Amino acid sequence: MQDSQLTKEEIAQLTEADWRERLTDSEYFVLREKGTERPFTGIHNDMSEQGIYRCKGCGAKLFDSNNKFDAGCGWPSFDATIEESAIDEHLDTSHGMRRVEVTCSNCGGHLGHVFPDGPRETTGLRYCINSVAIDLEPKA
């Protein structure tokens, strides 16, 4: 995990070569090439430790562990972001589907998708996130 959050100015100066140097191959594939990790393979899928999930690319705060739930889909799932401005949403029509992609609003890194099938007692949303796109900052 990055020690601190990169600023928009620092991000704007990063080239794709810089991103390749900063990220592992799997992180680059997901965050920069909009890839998807295989279900049930990510380290955060079954993790129950408390803390804040940050973007693996830039360190921005994205999700609180209090909003994490087991959706049984094979990827970490959250019913809300840490704050509304933490992510951006985009229509994704790739692979013959119509979905809503979510990206880090700070660096633009692909995180996953959001679906309207989350817990009804909360937001009703399920942010389905690739483990390699996030890092947990444990609570002290």
pLDDT in tens, 38-57: 999 999 999 899 999 999 99
Which of 128, 129, 132, 134 is flagged as catalytic?
A: 128
Instruction: Output the pTM of the full model.
Output: 0.92
Mention every residue, 6+ apart, whose C-beta is less than 8 A from residue 28.
Answer: 19, 20
Residue 128 appears among annotated catalytic residues: yes
Question: Residue 107 annotated as binding?
Answer: yes
Q: Tell me, which fold does domain 8-138 have in CATH?
A: 2.170.150
In degrees and rounded to multiples of 5, residue 21 shows phi and psi of: -75, -35
Question: Residue 55 annotated as binding?
Answer: yes
Question: Residue 58 annotated as binding?
Answer: yes
First to last CA, the chain: 16
**Average confidence score pLDDT of the chain:** 94
Question: Residue 73 annotated as binding?
Answer: no
CA 58, 130, 27, 135 dihedral sign is positive
